Structure 1
Amino acid sequence: MPIALGLEGSANKLGVGLIYHSAKPTSSHPLKRSQPEVRILSNIRHTYHAPPGAGFLPKDTALHHRSHVTQLVHAALAEAGLTINDVDCICYTKGPGMGAPLQSVALTARTLSLLWNKPLLGVNHCIGHIEMGRSITHATNPVVLYVSGGNTQVIAYSTKRYRIFGETLDIAVGNTLDRFARTLNIPNDPAPGYNIEQLAKKGKILLDLPYAVKGMDVSFSGILARIDELGHQCLSGKLFDPAGNGEKITPEDLCFSLQETIFAMLVETTERAMAHVGSAQVLIVGGVGCNERLQEMMGLMARSRGGDCYATDERFCIDNGIMIAHAGLLDYLSGGQEDRIDLGVEDSTCTQRFRTDDVYVKWRDD
């Protein structure tokens, strides 16, 4: 009955989760061909919110994580009705992410591993999102759109790796939304992207914004510069409908225009990847994947190709501990004892740059 404890803290969300896999490897042969039955035992998260108009700084986020992680570990065990004796391994986010928060969580995982004498595994944050999404939605071999505060990638699996077909050339889509929220002084609670989404639902006027798709890659810096300029004009009451009817442009219109433009860029590159690999499935993962309008647009595209769009809700899209526990446990169970990647204390490091295609996906054989 393998159970993993997962610790996530690559940005402003601190997550602790416990997950159980029913499947076990037979003798020394890797667990590959079928997804294990997954049971989520606990999924607890605590978010650091910066003041409106400001972003979260690494030092403040790291302090938040250090202040709450012990409480969250105890709460997760209590919610699952387990003791540490029931846990088989401890998994933590190795990267990518913000340096100081990552270090805080890595230190916690290392300490718990030493205190409780449990194997320790470092997990790629992006792989955690992908494998959690596959498990929850039962998507078989989809093209993956990974969209979050720090990452934007179009991904497909092939021969033991998640291959990146396209990505942002500058800033991530979530960071674009977050930084525009600061311009309009939109609250960060529960999340700036969520608040932009709610405002966008009330928008009526679609403004022309830079649309930067370069092959399979996208660029958001130009659209952010332009929408920021329009945002300042809007707040000063000097922005009017370009149709010439004298109607003022509202913050809702700006949020609507921003979403429609950047999501159209993402749908275009994702569709191109689906055509290239011959896939009829697309899976959206990452914090921005909770956005209902993005899911709607991607679903329309997928269905027009005779395919399906898969996504999860905020429990699994937004950074969480169970996705780290799940990916770590897949790796832990994917071989015999000689193949396991249990880390010694000296190897339990973290890194801000850890690409999705750097990970050897030994648990898949499809």
Structure 2
Amino acid sequence: MVCSLGIEGSANKIGVGIIRDGEVLANVRRTYITPPGEGFLPNTTAKHHREVILTLVEESLKEANIKPADLDVVCYTKGPGMAPPLLVGAIVARTLALLWKKPLMGVNHCIGHIEMGRHITGAQNPIILYVSGGNTQVIAYSNKKYRIFGETIDIAVGNCLDRFARILKLPNDPSPGYNIEQMAKNGSKYIKLPYVVKGMDVSFSGILSHIEELADPTKNPNKRKRTQEAESSETKPADLCFSLQETIFAMLVEITERAMAHCGSNEVLIVGGVGCNERLQKMMEIMCEERGGKLFATDERYCIDNGLMIAHAGAEMFKSGTRMPFEESFVTQRYRTDEVLVTWRDD
């Protein structure tokens, strides 16, 4: 029996979770919300995390109805992510581990998403689409590692959605991507946008630049005359949101289906914050059903960054015999999914 506490704080969310032998005991979280049209900066995000993290630790222990002595390991997000917020989680985890005399475990953020998704949905060996504000990858497990089959070559899909939300001055509460999704439900006219799939990789920066100019022509006043369709769409943000989602999600479905064909898999698991998007889930579900496969997805409790996923992945690592010396309890902004040796899987 392993009881694990996990701290996640790689971006604008700070969360603490506790899990014991697969049983969810606590999952508390706070989000740093900025004014409409603004993103979140590393230092101010870290300040927010510092102000609330100890309260979250106390809340998690109370919700789980356990004491620090009941824990077997303290886990934290080692990376990838923004350095100042990551450091808040790492320093607090290190301090708690020393105070409570518990082992410490650094966890890869993406691995946390994957293992939490597998645990909650029951997916066995799926093709994984990992989509968030900072990451976009198509992943499959093979020979003790999660292999990356395709990824973004510039910005992540969540970052594309967030930045377009800023152009439209949509609120950041609860998240820019969520508000794009809601506005897209009121759109019906599809406006053709660039579709950029390069083999198994995707690119979103050009699409973002193009749609920004449609939404705000002053971005490039010297651009050649826009098409009549574009001109008529300038006052219809809902159609732009609808078109953006349809285009970029179709790109993701394409590369995911290609990975399924290559691996002979009939399962797809969507993880990461963008994985909460109902339209993405629906498009992926249609593709899976056409192939005789099945889609696995989670809700916002487990899709959005949370401490529970770090606790669960850390517990799996700990049970498999993985140990981390305190002198290695640093953070790294660039920590790739395929760098992690998956010691807890034998399939």
TM-score norm. by structure 1 comes to 0.91
Aligned residue in 2 for 1:316: 302
String of CA shifts for 1:115-166, please: whole Å, max 9, x gaps.
1111000000000000000000001100000000000000000000000000
Cα shift at 1:361: 0.2
Aligned residue among 263, 284, 288 for 1:302: 288
Aligned residue in 2 for 1:144: 128
- 1:143 maps to amino acid: I
Unaligned runs of 5+ in 1: 22-37
Q: Does structure 2 retain, via aligned residues, the 8 Å contact 1:10–1:93?
A: yes
Q: Within 1, Cα distance between the matches of 2:93 and 2:124?
A: 32
Aligned residue among 172, 176, 188 for 1:192: 176
Q: Within 2, Cα distance between the matches of 1:52 and 1:247?
A: 22
String of CA shifts for 1:10-33, please: whole Å, max 9, x gaps.
000000000011xxxxxxxxxxxx
Q: Does structure 2 retain, via aligned residues, the 8 Å contact 1:234–1:251?
A: no
Q: Within 1, Cα distance between the matches of 2:235 and 2:295?
A: 33
- 2:97 maps to amino acid: S
- 2:337 maps to amino acid: T
Aligned residue in 1 for 2:186: 202
Q: Within 1, Cα distance between the matches of 2:127 and 2:69?
A: 39
- Give 1:71-150 correspondences, 5 Å limit: 71-150=55-134
Aligned residue in 1 for 2:222: none
Q: Within 2, Cα distance between the matches of 1:234 and 1:249?
A: 14
Q: Does structure 2 retain, via aligned residues, the 8 Å contact 1:290–1:317?
A: yes
Aligned residue in 2 for 1:66: 50
- 1:17 maps to amino acid: G
| Residues 242 and 343 of structure 1, relative CA distance in 2, 3 Å threshold | same
Q: Does structure 2 retain, via aligned residues, the 8 Å contact 1:8–1:324?
A: yes
- 2:328 maps to amino acid: D
Paired residue total: 342
Q: Does structure 2 retain, via aligned residues, the 8 Å contact 1:154–1:166?
A: yes
SS where residue 163 of structure 2 aligns? Answer: helix
Q: Within 2, Cα distance between the matches of 1:195 and 1:224?
A: 17
Aligned residue in 1 for 2:12: 12
Aligned residue in 2 for 1:170: 154
Q: Does structure 2 retain, via aligned residues, the 8 Å contact 1:163–1:356?
A: yes
Matched, 1:181 2:165: yes
Q: Does structure 1 retain, via aligned residues, the 8 Å contact 2:216–2:234?
A: no
Q: Within 2, Cα distance between the matches of 1:82 and 1:142?
A: 34
Q: Does structure 1 retain, via aligned residues, the 8 Å contact 2:118–2:124?
A: yes
| Residues 61 and 275 of structure 1, relative CA distance in 2, 3 Å threshold | same
Cα shift at 1:2: 1.4
Q: Does structure 2 retain, via aligned residues, the 8 Å contact 1:240–1:247?
A: no
> How big is the alpha-carbon RMSD for the aligned residues of Structure 1 and Structure 2?
1.7
Aligned residue in 2 for 1:226: 210
Q: Within 2, Cα distance between the matches of 1:248 and 1:352?
A: 38
Q: Within 2, Cα distance between the matches of 1:60 and 1:348?
A: 23
Cα shift at 1:223: 0.1
Q: Does structure 2 retain, via aligned residues, the 8 Å contact 1:241–1:248?
A: no
Aligned residue in 2 for 1:341: 323
Q: Within 2, Cα distance between the matches of 1:249 and 1:241?
A: 13
- 1:225 maps to amino acid: S
SS where residue 145 of structure 1 aligns? Answer: strand
SS where residue 14 of structure 1 aligns? Answer: strand
Q: Within 2, Cα distance between the matches of 1:188 and 1:248?
A: 22
Q: Within 2, Cα distance between the matches of 1:341 and 1:179?
A: 39
- 2:37 maps to amino acid: G
Matched, 1:353 2:334: yes
- 2:306 maps to amino acid: N
- 1:362 maps to amino acid: T
Q: Within 2, Cα distance between the matches of 1:365 and 1:234?
A: 56
SS where residue 229 of structure 2 aligns? Answer: coil
Cα shift at 1:342: 3.2
- Give 1:20-35 correspondences, 5 Å limit: 20-21=20-21
- Give 1:37-48 correspondences, 5 Å limit: 38-48=22-32
Q: Does structure 2 retain, via aligned residues, the 8 Å contact 1:205–1:241?
A: no
Once the two structures are aligned, what percentage of the paired residues are identical? 65
Cα shift at 1:248: 6.2
- 1:254 maps to amino acid: L
- 1:322 maps to amino acid: L
Unaligned runs of 5+ in 2: 220-224
